[in-house]
Amino acid sequence: MLEEALYAAEAVAAQHMYADEGLAALGRELARISPRLALTVARGSSDHAASYFAYLAMQRLGVPVVSLPMSIVTLHQSPLAVSGQLAVAVSQSGQSPDLVDTMKALSAAGAHTVALVNKPGSPLAEACHWAAPLCAGEEKSVAATKSYITSLSAVARLVAHWQNDAGLLAALENLPKRLSEAAAQDWSVAIDVLKPAERIMVVGRGLGFAVALEAALKFKETCAIQAEAFSGAEIKHGPMALIDEGYPLLIFAPRGPEQQGLVALAAEMRGRGAKVLLAAPAEVESRDLTLAVADDEALDPLLAIQSFYLMAARLSEARGLNPDVPRHLSKVTCTR
């Protein structure tokens, strides 16, 4: 897991070289057909990448994005009025039957189907009209790292080309360098705090919520910590009742309009006795963990999860676990 997380910068550079042309062509086609709705189809870490796509597409393009429950198609065979709309599947393996069957059904219903997948020749890629490789390379660790980061960069590329956003495209070209800077951040204080932890809340908002979701999953699968992710806007609607003295919270507060509220939430939770780990850029004086910054703030979540992955791998080992082989889990999950 540690080695593969460190390879993320190289994987993103490979994606720029080998996948960007295809994503640019797809972006131009989407600009031409101008879908009014997008569906996402994914599970696990890939679904967290789909969440990032949803926020980014809605923020920058104004296109509503909905996560599709696959059982609507695979178990209920419900007819969906999706002709002319966009459906995006994200997957590392491209093999899970429910993803493949759902995208086949959406294609048959007239949707413009896209697979962002690490294995271009997979059944999922063949089921879609368009397929773009993530270029993460083989991932041996059960816990996805570089494939998640390349999923985020792929959807950012897709949105940038769709919008013809020169600034975001330039920031993506420089992303490998920024990921290397993120990998150099010292998050050892989090290991000291979380080594004895049994539970944790992970908080984010906006584009950063996708990172909170992914971090909570990695805490569970690699560190055996019961972790839940919440939006900073939702934590007071019930979850706060769980917080008592010493309760650990990891709060991601990258740049953006959500940051001020998240920094204020960290201060409030400290006042309630929680053990807060606030991850924020260097200019936020109250931070506990430093976040690297990208050339476009939309890419800051990729740097945040890069720093987190390295910490999580070391935390797992500090807790006497093997982050590469989480118990009860396998690399490819097949559901219907």
Q: Is residue 106 part of a domain?
A: yes
Last residue of a domain, one of 175, 195, 226: 175
Last residue of a domain, one of 144, 175, 206: 175
pLDDT tens, position by position, 272-299: 999 999 999 999 999 999 999 999 999 9
Nearest-CA neighbor of 89 among 147, 137, 39, 162?
39
199 shares a domain with 301: yes
190 shares a domain with 157: no
Last residue of a domain, one of 175, 198, 222: 175
Q: How confident is the model at residue 329 (pLDDT cuts 50, 70, 90)?
A: very low
192 shares a domain with 95: no
Q: How confident is the model at residue 331 (pLDDT cuts 50, 70, 90)?
A: very low
Catalytic position from the list 140, 195, 236, 331: 331
Q: Is residue 76 part of a domain?
A: yes
Q: Is residue 243 part of a domain?
A: yes
6 shares a domain with 145: yes
Contacts of 254 (CB under 8 A, 6+ apart): 207, 208, 279, 280, 281, 291, 293, 297, 300, 301, 303, 304
Structural domain for 279, as ranges: 185-319
Q: Is residue 328 part of a domain?
A: no
190 shares a domain with 163: no
pLDDT tens, position by position, 148-192: 999 999 999 999 999 999 999 999 999 999 999 999 999 999 999
DSSP codes, 185-200: ---HHHHHHHTT-SEE
171 shares a domain with 193: no
pLDDT (mean) for 193-198: 96
Contacts of 296 (CB under 8 A, 6+ apart): 167, 168, 170, 171, 172
Q: Annotated catalytic, 236? A: no
E strands present in 221-274: 226-231, 248-252
Dihedral of alpha carbons 16, 21, 22, 24, sign: positive
Say whether pLDDT at 212 is over 70. yes
| CATH number of the domain bearing residue 237 | 3.40.50.10490
259 shares a domain with 118: no
231 shares a domain with 203: yes
Nearest-CA neighbor of 52 among 298, 323, 327?
298
152 shares a domain with 112: yes
Q: Is residue 336 part of a domain?
A: no
253 shares a domain with 156: no
Q: Is residue 324 part of a domain?
A: no
pLDDT value for 226: 96
Q: Is residue 335 part of a domain?
A: no
225 shares a domain with 147: no
Say whether pLDDT at 330 is over 60. no
Q: What is the pTM of this model?
A: 0.94
Q: Is residue 180 part of a domain?
A: no
201 shares a domain with 156: no
Dihedral of alpha carbons 325, 326, 328, 334, sign: negative
CA distance 325 to 1: 9
Total number of domains in the chain: 2
**For tokens 């189907």, what's the residue?**
113
